[in-house]
Chains A and B, each alone.
Chain A
Amino acid sequence: MKQAARLVAALGLVAAFATVQAQGNVEYWCWTEHCAVAQALKPSFEAQNPGHTLVITELGPWDLHDKLLIALASNTGAPDVALLVQRRFRQYIESGRLLDVTDDFGTLEEEYPPSVWEIVTANGQIYGLPYDQNPGVLFYRRDLLEQAGVELPIETWSEFVEIGRELTGDGRYMTWQFVPGGGWGVAFYTMFLQSRGGNVFDADGAVIRNNELAADTLCFYQSLGDIALQTENNSPDFFVALKEGNLLTYANPTWGLYRVKQLAPELSGTWDAQPWPLWSEDAEPFTGAWGGNVVTIPAQSRNPVGAKAWVEFLAASTEGQSQVWQVGGLVPAYQPTLATDAVLQPDPFLAGTVIYEQAIASRTLPVFNYFNWAQAETIIGNHIDRMFAGDYATCGAAWNAIEAELAATFQ
């Protein structure tokens, strides 16, 4: 009896210790380069927040989203902080299982561009902080375009297509396009749509009907097929074209450059960056986003104090956000960071160009409404694939089909 009592007491002590330990831990779920950012910040965060220990759990990005969904649905097992992609974030807000941080972070609104702040808010409440923004940039082979006598920078998309028609051929391509694309293809298409100030859903989540801008953008996207290397995502054809100098431009956010640097380091000094071309000479200086992430706190967090401290340190401090740029290769969402030396470093791969100053600062990201985006992306991606397969007589007919299915699905 005494032994049993001692055993129960010991178990109780262990459980109590584990609970206290858990309350001092801040478990953060992230993936690849974002975990590298967290690792770089961990010593400084812990020094500035004694009693809190950052525990970094690296998962594959979609594995993370799936596991978080299960944790939220079952109300157990969620981390203290999770990194999520912006375009899926609204669905997680609608789960009702994220911590409302309006009182903690409401005063930070002015520090972020409206396009990314919008994503973390719903019905006037705030459910996270923007982590990065992914404005599109036009990276290009400066040496090859100069050799071809192209006047740089390329000012408009019609100019881009014209140049592409002259230079594409004999295995050389002006750009790259995901065909068949699925979700990846939709992300590329919506970059163009967003950069025209367009949307698929309105601010209330209703499908925009008779969406001429979206239809016209789809037609433009289709026309790119004449000058684009069309491959699936991660196709070896892309790597080969890149390394053999048969890809003249790469329209992508800065993570695209990170990819080029990894795959073709020997091309250092031959690439450069310019702002996203305009849609006409007097068009708004917009660009489109591809990707972008937010950090959020599940309501079941066992250490909400530590979680809020980490979120603020990571996403609302120049120290945290500088690492997002330097280690992660992503444009910080927290605007004060954009004026720091960390972001204004010349990039040796681009022969000393300061990407932010030269290619990003002159453009803004308009608001893009991501509602039910996982399902919308699937619908749009299928129709775009069918358009490229020749199922539709015109690109306009393809957009009409997209609009009809979206409206029927989300009425």
Chain B
Amino acid sequence: MTQRTLRRWAPYLYLAPFFTLFALFWLGPIASSFWYSFTSWNVSGAAPFVGLDNYRALFTDPRFLKALRNTLVFWAFYTAIMVSMALSAAIVIHATSVRFKGFFRASIFLPVTISMAVVAIIFEMVFARGTGLLNLLLTGVGLARVDWLGNRDVALYSIILVKVWRAFGYYSLILLAGLAAIPKELYEAARVDGASWWQGVTRITLPLLRPVLAFVMIMSSIWALELFDEPYILTGGGPADATLSITIYLYQHSFQFMRLGYGSAVAFTLTAIIVLIAVIEKRVVDRDN
């Protein structure tokens, strides 16, 4: 092998270990799972081919449609609330007049570091019907108790509350980093021109923060659509499927009902939904740019 040939192939050889492992442990299982989504594999040896039956069954299963609705409602409310809160927190903490920035940054990030098991215990105490903190506050001001996790009309929004509490600190820090990259001179120049604080936010901050905001929106959308931990631990997907997400539905069918072929079909359907929403969000942001 000549030196020239070696130099030409060297980059590929350096990348080869990664891509080999990537193909073996990522692409391979995905391709295999895609195949299984067209079968009725249920753990025992054979995986009979059933064509599109799994996908057809999916869209006629009332539980899947319920899970789809819940997931989309969760995504819409969670993303809107979380991004608004994260942006507001980032703007406030970034303001030059605010002191002890480090303390506030650490405080809002703390929920991100807490394990879901601990979060579940905390929020069981917050949401408990009789002795929970929220209901003690409500009854203390003369209002009626709310069954935060047991009422079908409320449970999903309780889960949104938990998820926002857990996540907004993380996204706040990302937005804070984006804010720090905006040159201060722009704000000074705007002040000289007589711009108000609000005009500074809408004419300078938001436009220049757009790429970071787009990243936050897309990442939080992906995580929202993959919702599993919070409803699984707090409500098990109940009451009566009121907090059933697509991932919980996938988990039930794959691991509890042992319908691995059908579960694969659910997984790919969810992937398609996530990709579709991410692409739409990216296009909206790029178009505005």
Binding site for B on A (CB under 8 A): 65-66, 69, 72-73, 88, 91, 94-97, 179-183, 231-232, 234-237, 240-241, 372, 374-375, 378, 381-383, 385-386, 389, 391
Contact = CB atoms under 8 A, between A and B. Distances in A.
A193 to B, nearest CB: 20
Nearest to B255: A66
B260 A73 contact: yes
Contact of B239 (A69, A180, A235, A372): A180
13 contacts: A94-B42, A94-B258, A96-B44, A96-B45, A179-B150, A180-B149, A180-B235, A180-B238, A180-B240, A231-B128, A231-B130, A385-B238, A389-B239
B14 to A, nearest CB: 25
Contacts of B252: 374-375, 378
A235 B240 contact: no
B256 A374 contact: yes
Contacts of A182: 235-239
Contacts of A180: 149-150, 235, 238-240
Contacts of A65: 255
Nearest to B251: A66
A180 B128 CA distance: 12
A406 B125 CA distance: 35
Contact of B44 (A94, A183, A372, A374): A94
A234 B256 contact: no
Contacts, number: 82
B124 A235 contact: yes
A374 B256 CA distance: 6
Contacts of B241: 382
A296 to B, nearest CB: 14
Nearest to B36: A73
Given A96-B44, A97-B43, A378-B252, A236 B125 contact: yes
A237 B128 contact: yes
Contacts of B149: 180, 232
B240 A386 contact: yes
Nearest to B126: A236
Nearest to B254: A69
Nearest to B120: A234
Contacts of B132: 236-237
B16 to A, nearest CB: 22
Interface string B38-63: 00001111000000000000000000
B84 interface: no
B240 A385 contact: yes
B129 interface: yes
A83 to B, nearest CB: 17
Contacts of A234: 124
B129 A235 contact: yes
B199 interface: no
B22 interface: no
A231 B239 contact: no
Given A97-B43, A232-B150, A372-B257, A382 B238 contact: yes
B196 to A, nearest CB: 48
Contacts of B43: 69, 72-73, 95, 97
B128 A374 contact: no
B131 interface: yes
A391 B255 CA distance: 30
A385 B243 CA distance: 13
B152 interface: yes
A181 B43 CA distance: 29
Interface string B228-260: 000000011111110000000000100111101
The 10 closest A-B pairs by CB, nearest first: A180-B239, A374-B256, A385-B240, A237-B130, A95-B43, A96-B44, A385-B239, A236-B128, A182-B236, A182-B238
Given A97-B43, A235-B129, A385-B240, A375 B124 contact: no
Most buried by B among A95, A236, A381, A386: A236
Given A232-B150, A234-B124, A382-B241, A375 B236 contact: no
A65 B45 CA distance: 19
B256 A381 contact: no
Nearest to B130: A237
Contact of B240 (A66, A91, A382): A382
A383 B241 CA distance: 10
Contacts of A69: 43, 255, 258
Nearest to B132: A236
A382 B128 CA distance: 21
Interface in B121-153: 124-125, 128-132, 149-150, 152
Contacts of B255: 65-66, 69
Contacts of A73: 43, 260
B251 to A, nearest CB: 9
A171 to B, nearest CB: 8
Contacts of A94: 42, 44, 258
A46 B242 CA distance: 50
A235 B147 CA distance: 12
Given A95-B43, A183-B236, A235 B257 contact: no
B69 to A, nearest CB: 15
B45 A237 contact: no
B129 A231 contact: yes
B152 A389 contact: yes
A117 to B, nearest CB: 24
A237 B44 contact: no
B258 A91 contact: yes
B257 A375 contact: yes
A348 B52 CA distance: 62
Nearest to B46: A96
Given A95-B43, A231-B128, A383-B240, 17 more contacts: A65-B255, A69-B43, A180-B150, A180-B240, A232-B149, A234-B124, A236-B128, A237-B130, A240-B131, A374-B258, A375-B252, A375-B256, A375-B257, A378-B256, A382-B238, A382-B240, A382-B241
Contacts of B129: 231, 235, 237
A386 B240 CA distance: 6
